[in-house]
Each structure stands twice: as C-alpha cells, then as structure tokens.
Structure 1
C-alpha cells in the first residue's frame, strides 16, 4: 500500500518542491495551503504522515497539532522558517515527532519522511502482533501505573492513558530497564534510530509529555527522574 502524505504549507514553491520530491519516491501526496479543515481531513483521509508548517493562514500548525495529537497516531513533521529553540520546543511539546527548519535540503526531508514511516510501520506492526494478553510477565507495575508491554497500553488505576507510539516506546524502554541512567543521546539513537544527527532536546520534550501523563506532579517527578549531567532514570 502506497503511503499517503498530507503537506500543509502556504508557500506554493516550497509545497511544490516537497510534493515533487516525495512523489518521485513513490508516495501519494496531497497539498493544502491553509490550516482550515486540516484536522477533519486527517480524521477521515487515511493519511500516514503529516508535514505541517507552523505559520499558516486560517489555523496555525500549533493549533492543528494540539487538536489532533492525541486522536491520530501518525508521524508529524513540523516545517518552519523559525529557528528559535522556543518554537521548536513548543512544536515538539504539542506532539510533533520531528522538526526541520527552512531552508532545508529536500533530500534530508525525504530521508526523515522515510525514517518516520519505517519506524511507525515497525511500531504499529509490533503492537498488532503482540496481541492483548495481559499475563504477568508482560505487565510492568509502578505504583498504580500499569504498563502492558505486549498490548502497548498504559493504565493509571482503571483509566487507560493514551500514548502515541513514540512516547510509548520511550516509556516502555525505560520501564524495561529500570533504575538505570540513560543519556538523552543514547535514548535518541535507541528510540528514534535516525541515520542523521538528531537533537536530543526531542527526548527532553517527549519525557516531559510522558511525565504529564503518569506523574502525580510532573514538576516534581518521582517515576522518571532527571539525573543531572547524565540523563534519565525510571525508578522502580
């Protein structure tokens, strides 16, 4: 099945360039030049990946990402002319998987798209093949938090907490390697598996998103602890 990609970009030249390169690689590509009705398109259009500009007429990329992230689990690649760290962190904090700044090499964009699609395909296949068995060896209990490693589900008490695949894989990795410290760089290489130099700030933002879902007080986390100068540790 041919992957279907939605590009939301108001700069026509950039949108055409992105579309041409991706179509050359065999992807089906749809382009929209404003943010209006994008969530509705994503909810019904069967897209496999979203390339989303931040500054859009109608509805910003930030607003779109905020609305769809916990409802649709597909890779979101944000594209923007802004280079300030705060914009990057804000986009990642709203659930984007990756971030690329204009101007960019189209070949790098294609490489990132391929990487995300491959990774999400692997994660989705893994989740589906693991089934829904909740036997003892596949359940990690941390206080009232229950992580079902095989069915890719997380419960706090009896309430299920929704996790995009990338966040779940990061949480699962830490939970299956408790009381060990992992650097941001190691986690990035292990979970994201990119063949280009990544930004470990991505890990920090995803850790913060996980903490918001599992910690009683995300500002003073007890489950996922920051070990200053070294990395992160899940306490079990």
Structure 2
C-alpha cells in the first residue's frame, strides 16, 4: 500500500517511515500542507491508501489541509498529533478525518488503525468490478424523500444530492439498514468508528447533529434516551 506521511519533523518522519517500510508500506514523505496536496494529485502510480496527517505543519494548519484533502479525494485520513483535547478530536473527525491518534502512540496500535481504515475503504479513484453490488442486492434504499445508494455513497433528498463526510454516510447507512430498530451507542461506535465507546460519545453526538442539519430532516434520526438512536422512516 502507498502511504502519504505528512510530518514536518524529519527525525520523526524518518523513524516512522522505517517502521512502516518494514511492514510493507511504500511511504511518501511530505513536509508541508502544500507538498502533501501536490503529492495527492493524480498520476500514473497507484493512489495512496492512507494519509497520516500531522496538524502542526509549517505553512498551514493540519485541519485546513484535511478539509482540502477531503474536497479532492476520498483517501482515508488519520490525524496523528499531540493535540489531545476533545474539541480538536471532534473538529478533526467532523472535517472528514477517518481516525485521530494522539502522540505519543504505540506503533502497533497505529499500524492496526491504518489497516482498519484501509479495510473498510474502497478508493473512489479506482473503481473495479468488485465494487458492483452483488446479484440480488437493492441498488438504492428509498425512505420517503430520502434515497441512499451504498455502491456510489450517494444521498439524495427531494431530488437534491446532499454531500456527506465518510463517517456521516457510514452512520446513516447503518441506521437505514433497519429502519425503526434502535441501535445502541456502543454498537454504532464499534461498527462505524471501529473503536470502543470510551471517549467517543461526543463524536457520535456531533455526527448525529450534523446529519440532521444537512438532511434538513431533524425527525429522521430519533434519540432513544439512555440507549441509542434509530431511523424513523419519513412519510413519502
């Protein structure tokens, strides 16, 4: 897998690149936000599988870089930073980051997180026959004015496409699998974020609020106090 490491500290980058190389990654090192964005331009090589993004970059804040990356590609982004406060975590995830790792970290945990986000990601830049829905599967799920297409990760409300972040779509798709059924908070965190509930509850609440706002259907996702959330099928 090709991996883009965005890190301005050459010593940190060299040490981490050596570890990643030993585990089979083809690492490209970018020292600034602009260098990272240039590296993500399409070329003849295979696309990057994951971006490891430091937030303390010399030319621009990593949050801004993440937002610009997300506008041009669906490549998974893992923020790797010393900023441990909850507000930064929530902000990063809300910008479209797929995971958030705080320094100092255990290298094996970082590797596990890289593999986790890559397993559940199909690069939009390189569709293949394997991306086609299996025979007999429904191409689109329709719930009143809401239409959700999993293969293309598209959401349409009243004929208008609604842009969602990767996690917002995954969350909506999970709830839409079984309309009316309550999903426990722990179950949602486990299936969408692939992590435990501890310390992630606020992130879930932020994504639920963002979905309600973007879809302009506040009653679509119902909060079941003390348990979790469920999708309430809207009227046609």
TM-score by length of 1: 0.83
In the TM superposition, residue 72 of structure 1 has moved relative to its aligned partner by 1.1
> Aligned partners of 2:198 and 2:23: how far apart in 1?
22
Which digits, 9 at most, give the CA deviation of each residue in 1:152-203, with x for residues without a partner? Answer: 3221222223445443232112012111221221012223445997834443
In the TM superposition, residue 151 of structure 1 has moved relative to its aligned partner by 4.5
SS of 1:7's partner is strand
In the TM superposition, residue 224 of structure 1 has moved relative to its aligned partner by 1.5
Q: Does 1:228 align with 2:225?
A: yes
Which digits, 9 at most, give the CA deviation of each residue in 1:48-86, with x for residues without a partner? Answer: 211101121101110011122243112110011111111
After the TM superposition, which of the residue ranges 198-207 and 48-57 deviates more from structure 2? Answer: 198-207
Q: Does 1:41 align with 2:44?
A: no
> Counterpart in 2 of 1:168?
169
Equivalent runs, 1:116-155 vs 2, <5 Å: 116-121=117-122, 128-130=131-133, 137-155=138-156
> Aligned partners of 1:165 and 1:126: how far apart in 2?
21
> Counterpart in 1 of 2:106?
105
Equivalent runs, 1:5-20 vs 2, <5 Å: 5-20=3-18
Root mean square deviation, CA, Å: 3.0
List alignment gaps of at least 5 residues for structure 2. Answer: none
TM-score by length of 2: 0.83
Distance 1:174 1:196, change over 3 A: closer
> Counterpart in 1 of 2:19?
21
Distance 1:7 1:137, change over 3 A: closer
Kept in 2, the 8 Å contact 1:181–1:232? The answer is yes
Kept in 2, the 8 Å contact 1:73–1:164? The answer is no
> Counterpart in 1 of 2:55?
54
